[in-house]
Amino acid sequence: MAEQGFSYTAQALSDLAQQVLEQARLAGATSAEVEISEGSGQGVTVRHGEIETIEHNRDKAVTVTAYVGQRRGHAATSDFSAAALRQTVEKAVAIARFTAEDAFSGLADPGLLATQFPALDLFHPWTLEVAGAVEMARACEAAALAVDRRIGNTEGATVSQQQAQFIYANSNGFCAGYPTSRHSVSCSVIAEEDGAMQRDHWYTSARAAGDLDTVESVGQRAGERAVRRLGARRLPTQSCPVIFEAPIATGLIASFVSAVSGGNLYRKSSFLQDSLGTQVFPTFLQIEERPFLPRGLASSPFDGEGVAVRDRAVVKDGRVEGYFLGSYSARKLGMQSTGNAGGNHNLIIPSTGEDLAALLARMGSGLLITELLGHGVNMVTGDYSRGAAGFWVEGGEIAYPVEEITVAGNLRTMFAGIAAIGRDMETRGSRRVGSILIDAMRVAGDSEAGHA
């Protein structure tokens, strides 16, 4: 019998995977891998108390990678019929025959494949009827609108529930998979005063519905964030300390991950080339990869190639201890896969102990960034330049909101200049970190502006 909400049992997906691998062998592939997945979900959005959208999704896919020697071909289909699977396999093999040989291509090393599959509590289906989701979205939006009379418009509140399952198998004998779920509630509103408008939002996301923040708290947070931005000004161009609020501090960690990931490293397009063992961060900073966190949003017993994952120190006492490598990039670098085909698992960056108020007090005067715009990060040089908005801080207290500014620096200098990490940890994604205080960055604004 299929799991709740699925059309296929896990065994049925495994059987299909084995059929695909056998068809690949018969078609002339010397090795092959396949991932078969299906998912379903529902999303309900309410705006001004009225239903804006009701969306239902049901998806399925088969992706086949076939190798003929060291030539690689890839094909995919959403049709699970025998004829469609056979045609997809034949396409993958045909493509492989016409591609150039690549000495580094191929399946993951059999000795690295996972053999133990701990239960990580990742599947919590949420049986929520449309009517119930509508009422939750209405309550969320109403809580946001009730924050302040200056919130007169809204982009709506959304309640989403998603679940999926997959099987990954390859011709080295690996075959495993598991179901997952992910649910969320979000709200976005617009505040207006003296003709000027400010928008902000908030959301909660978790594997289990019971782990979500209340819809009222999500709406209230969205409303409070929008209102506090009213009256924003520009700043004079200057250098000053900067705090990246926790939700966007995760982006700094993402930039580090990208810089020490296999694709950028073997292409020599990273400012952290050959950085293993080198001091990149202050000695107090640690980054731990924890793939086995129960209900973790990036937890898994193996990566996208079936390679076993493990707890490890990526950064220890500020030094880079590990890269993020899949099999291909590892071979290009003369190294071994770290179990990161498909990306990083849960990254934990411990706090230095201060809450956000303590970080503001420690900074004294400077910029608290709550929003970043644009994509001005050069991974080759580490140069960093982003549009920003947030708050100017004086005497350790928020003085007024600011907008239309640019923050700039170099990631290598920024990483080295991290002075503290807050305990207001962001937990809604794959990188868990609190607000980050950096000792100095260049803030470009209005040269004519002054502090009030």
Instruction: Compute the average pLDDT of residues 164-178.
Output: 97
| Contact between residue 187 and residue 156 where contact means Cβ atoms under 8 Å apart | yes
Write down the pLDDT at residue 445. Answer: 84
Q: What is the pLDDT of residue 449?
A: 39
Mean pLDDT of 412-438: 97
Q: Give tens-digit pLDDT for 130-147.
A: 999 999 999 999 999 999
> How confident is the model over 161-182, as a mean pLDDT?
97
State yes or no: pLDDT of 376 exceeds 90. no
**Residue 361 CB-density burial (10 A; 0-12 exposed, 13-18 middle, 19+ buried):** middle
* pLDDT tier, 207 (very low <50, low <70, confident <90, very high otherwise): very high
Q: Minimum mean pLDDT among 3-7, 275-279, 370-374: which range?
A: 3-7
What local confidence, expressed as pLDDT, does residue 165 receive? 97
Q: How many angstroms separate the Cα of 345 from the Cα of each of 292, 299, 309, 314, 436?
A: 9, 6, 9, 11, 21
CB 393 within 8 A of CB 363: yes
Q: Is pLDDT above 60 for 348? A: yes
Q: What is the mean pLDDT of residues 52-73?
A: 97
- Residue 224 neighbours by CB under 8 Å, 6+ apart: 147
* Residues 6+ away with beta carbon under 8 Å from 122: 178, 179, 180, 181, 207, 295, 296, 299
Q: Tell me: the pLDDT tens digits for 386-403?
A: 999 999 999 999 999 999
Length of the chain: 452
pLDDT of residue 2: 61
* Residue 209, both tokens: 């519905």
334 Cβ contact list (under 8 Å, min separation 6): none
Residue 82: CB atoms within 10 Å: 11
pLDDT of residue 375: 83
Tens of pLDDT along 316-342? Answer: 999 999 999 999 999 999 999 999 999
Would the pLDDT of 1 be above 70?
Answer: no
- The span from the CA of 249 to the CA of 260, in Å, is 18
pLDDT at 452: 32
Phi, psi dihedral angles at 215 (to 5 degrees): -65, -35
Can you tell me the mean pLDDT for 251-264? 97
Q: Where are the domains of the chain?
A: 10-227, 232-452
Six-digit token string for 54: 């009701």
pLDDT, average across residues 90-115: 96
Confidence grade of residue 5 (pLDDT, cut at 50, 70, 90): confident
The band of 3, judged by pLDDT with boundaries at 50, 70 and 90, is: low
Judge whether 344 and 323 are in contact, CB under 8 Å: no
| Nearest by Cα to 414 from 389, 446, 445, 378 | 378
CATH of domain 10-227: 3.30.2290.10
C-alpha separations of 293 from 269, 290, 310, 348, 423 in Å: 32, 6, 11, 11, 19
Query: What is the radius of gyration, based on Cα positions, of the chain?
Result: 24
Q: How confident is the model at residue 446 (pLDDT cuts 50, 70, 90)?
A: low
Helices (H), 333-404: 356-363
Cα-based distances in Å from 157 to 130, 366, 442: 14, 33, 36
